[in-house]
């Protein structure tokens, strides 16, 4: 996939028609976040009260004329549209008839390009280390038996690792996702785990004792199967432990991040002596001080699992750490690191060079990118 740029007015029309693709939606969100004026203009086209006033400026277009023109542009061949889509049609006319607005969009429509080596986004894949030390590459396997270990069968079903049977001893497996990979597995008790890039989980191939314990590094999302008789324990980077009975939560414990965060979506968990409720986040800093965030940004926490980057309020360093893990690159800063905050969301399914084009379009982005080979991204001012 080459570099992809969109006209903002085209994206707005696609959104009003309900045909906006995920990639287009990501570009539109980032464009709105570039500067306050972009968001204000967008709001005028989606707020009925503001739009009504805007339409009154067009003396030569009464409501019916506007409606008919909107139908012609947005819904060719249709004589009627649902009432809930009327504002979309009206907004399209406002956009079409507003010369000033049209020129404004044309001036801001194209994001500046940054010439880059095309590096594809990450994809599904992992390395499974078996109880005997053997390793299996899981990148291309969609279905089939992987291994038989002490009476337990490990197999891939629709791209997810599953276990069946009872072991003859205490056997452990380890799944690791390199940079640029994500994977999902289902433990013998039915617990589902999603691993983000550069992460790992070590676990028994059957839970035979009084507890269910796994060890993780990096980032993972859990949907734990309930079992009141066997508490589920997650040991995080050998630094802290999460105790649960049955719940949904996310753990971010990358070594190059300043904090370990555990975010609860559903149920209840205990981090050290702290009990979390849904929506809360436990934050453990480098000094092992634990604090509670009452209302975590769930969209941001779960963006990776939903195939998105969420750069809302992120610094350049924070953004680059995410890109390093997803595109399997190393980022090097030459000179002072620019003090800039980004915003918006975008799909993780586009090449690195497209992401860099978008980032370079943010106001205050007074820096340049260039690749040294296929692995090192240099950022300079």
Residues 144 and 269 in one domain: yes
Rounded (5°) CA angle 239-241-242: 145
In a domain, 70, yes or no: yes
Residues 266 and 159 in one domain: yes
Poorest-pLDDT segment among 117-126, 216-225, 245-254, 267-276: 117-126
Residues 38 and 55 in one domain: yes
pLDDT, one tens digit per residue, over 174-222 is 999 999 999 999 999 999 999 999 999 999 998 888 899 999 999 999 9
> Who has greater pLDDT, 130 or 71?
130
In a domain, 116, yes or no: no
Q: State yes or no: pLDDT of 316 exceeds 90.
A: yes
What mean pLDDT do residues 265-273 have? 93
In a domain, 115, yes or no: no
> Who has greater pLDDT, 374 or 192?
192
Strand 345-347, strand 330-334: pairing: unpaired
Count the Cβ atoms, other than its own, within 10 Å of residue 60: 6
Which of 266, 280, 267, 303 is closest to 182 using CA atoms?
303
pLDDT, one tens digit per residue, over 144-182 is 998 888 888 999 998 899 998 888 778 899 999 999 999
Q: State yes or no: pLDDT of 89 exceeds 70.
A: no
346 in Cβ contact with 309 (< 8 Å):
yes
pLDDT of residue 34: 73
Poorest-pLDDT segment among 27-31, 81-85, 161-165, 324-328: 81-85
> Who has greater pLDDT, 195 or 46?
195
Residues 31 and 167 in one domain: no
Residues 163 and 49 in one domain: no
What mean pLDDT do residues 128-153 have? 90
Within the chain, residue ranges assigned H as helices are 8-17, 22-34, 36-46, 48-55, 63-74, 86-97, 99-108, 298-301, 316-327, 352-360
Q: Which of 45, 77, 108 is the last residue of a domain?
A: 108
Residues 140 and 67 in one domain: no
> Who has greater pLDDT, 21 or 131?
131
In a domain, 2, yes or no: no
Residues 221 and 84 in one domain: no
> Who has greater pLDDT, 381 or 144?
144
Mean pLDDT (the chain, rounded): 79
In a domain, 28, yes or no: yes
pLDDT of residue 267: 94
What mean pLDDT do residues 128-132 have? 93
- CATH at 323: 3.55.50.30
Residues 234 and 360 in one domain: no
Q: Which residues contact 10 (CB under 8 A, 6 or more apart)?
A: none
Q: State yes or no: pLDDT of 224 exceeds 60.
A: yes
Residues 240 and 340 in one domain: no
> What separation in angstroms does the CA of 248 have from each of 95, 207, 243, 282, 302?
44, 19, 12, 14, 11
- At residue 301 the predicted structure's pLDDT band, cuts being 50, 70 and 90, is very high
Helices (H) and strands (E) in the chain, counts: 10, 24
- CATH at 295: 2.60.120.1440
Core vs surface per residue 296-308: b (16+ CB within 10 A) or e: beeebbbbbeeeb
Rounded (5°) CA angle 309-251-149: 110
Q: State yes or no: pLDDT of 141 exceeds 60.
A: yes
Which of 161, 221, 213, 225 is closest to 189 using CA atoms?
225
In a domain, 114, yes or no: no
User: What's the structural domain count of the chain?
Assistant: 3
Structure tokens at 214: 């796994």
Q: Which of 54, 85, 108 is the last residue of a domain?
A: 108
Residues 200 and 256 in one domain: yes
pTM for this structure?
Answer: 0.70
Q: State yes or no: pLDDT of 251 exceeds 70.
A: yes
In a domain, 1, yes or no: no
> Who has greater pLDDT, 22 or 203?
203
Poorest-pLDDT segment among 100-109, 158-167, 342-351: 100-109
Rounded (5°) CA angle 75-77-82: 45
Tell me the C-alpha distance between 57 and 68, whole Å: 18
Poorest-pLDDT segment among 73-77, 221-225, 288-292, 299-303: 73-77
pLDDT of residue 95: 46
Q: Per-residue DSSP letters for 10-39?
A: HHHHHHHHT---HHHHHHHHHHHHH-HHHH
In a domain, 3, yes or no: no
Poorest-pLDDT segment among 13-17, 145-149, 376-380: 13-17
Tell me the C-alpha distance between 379 and 335, whole Å: 8
Q: Sign of dihedral through CA atoms 224, 202, 348, 314? A: positive
Structure tokens at 32: 């709105």
Q: Which of 252, 271, 301 is the last residue of a domain?
A: 301
pLDDT of residue 37: 65
Q: Which residues contact 74 (CB under 8 A, 6 or more apart)?
A: 13, 16, 17, 81, 88, 89, 92
Q: State yes or no: pLDDT of 227 exceeds 60.
A: yes
Q: Sign of dihedral through CA atoms 85, 87, 88, 94? A: positive
Residues 131 and 215 in one domain: yes
Residues 223 and 346 in one domain: no
Backbone angles phi, psi at 269, to 5 degrees: -140, 160
Structural domain harbouring 173 = 123-301
Which of 320, 256, 252 is closest to 284 using CA atoms?
252
């Amino acid at each position: 996939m080459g570099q992809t740029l969109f006209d903002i007015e085209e994206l707005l029309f696609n959104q009003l028609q309900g045909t906006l693709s995920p990639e287009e939606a990501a570009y539109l969100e980032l464009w709105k976040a570039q500067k306050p004026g972009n968001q204000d203009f967008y709001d005028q086209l989606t707020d009925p009260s503001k739009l009504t006033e805007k339409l009154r400026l067009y003396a030569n277009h009464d409501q019916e004329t506007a409606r008919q023109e909107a139908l012609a542009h947005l819904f060719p061949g249709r004589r009627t549209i649902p009432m809930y889509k009327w504002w979309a049609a009206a907004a399209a006319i406002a956009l079409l008839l507003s010369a000033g607005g049209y020129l404004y969009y044309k001036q801001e429509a194209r994001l500046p390009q940054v010439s880059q080596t095309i590096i594809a986004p990450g994809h599904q894949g992992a390395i499974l280390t078996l109880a005997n030390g053997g390793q299996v590459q899981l990148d291309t396997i969609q279905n089939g038996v992987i291994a038989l270990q002490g009476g337990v069968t490990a197999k891939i079903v629709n791209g997810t690792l599953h276990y069946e049977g009872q072991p003859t001893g205490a056997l452990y497996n380890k799944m690791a996702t390199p940079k640029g990979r994500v994977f999902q597995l289902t433990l013998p008790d039915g617990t589902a785990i999603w691993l983000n890039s550069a992460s790992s989980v070590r676990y028994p191939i059957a839970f035979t004792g009084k507890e269910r314990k796994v060890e993780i590094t990096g980032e993972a999302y859990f949907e734990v199967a309930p079992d009141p008789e066997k508490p589920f324990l997650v040991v995080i980077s050998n630094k802290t432990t999460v105790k649960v009975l049955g719940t949904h939560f996310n753990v971010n414990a990358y070594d190059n991040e300043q904090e370990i965060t555990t975010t609860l979506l559903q149920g209840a968990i205990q981090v050290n002596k702290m009990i979390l409720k849904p929506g809360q986040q436990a934050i453990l800093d480098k000094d092992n001080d634990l604090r509670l965030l009452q209302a975590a940004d769930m969209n941001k926490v779960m963006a990776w699992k939903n195939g998105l980057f969420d750069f809302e309020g992120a610094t350049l360093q924070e953004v680059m750490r995410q890109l390093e893990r997803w595109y399997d690159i190393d980022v090097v800063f030459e000179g002072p690191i620019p003090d800039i905050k980004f915003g918006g969301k975008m799909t993780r399914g586009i090449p690195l060079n497209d992401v860099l084009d978008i980032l370079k379009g943010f106001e205050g982005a007074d820096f340049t990118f260039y690749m040294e080979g296929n692995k090192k991204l240099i950022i300079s001012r």
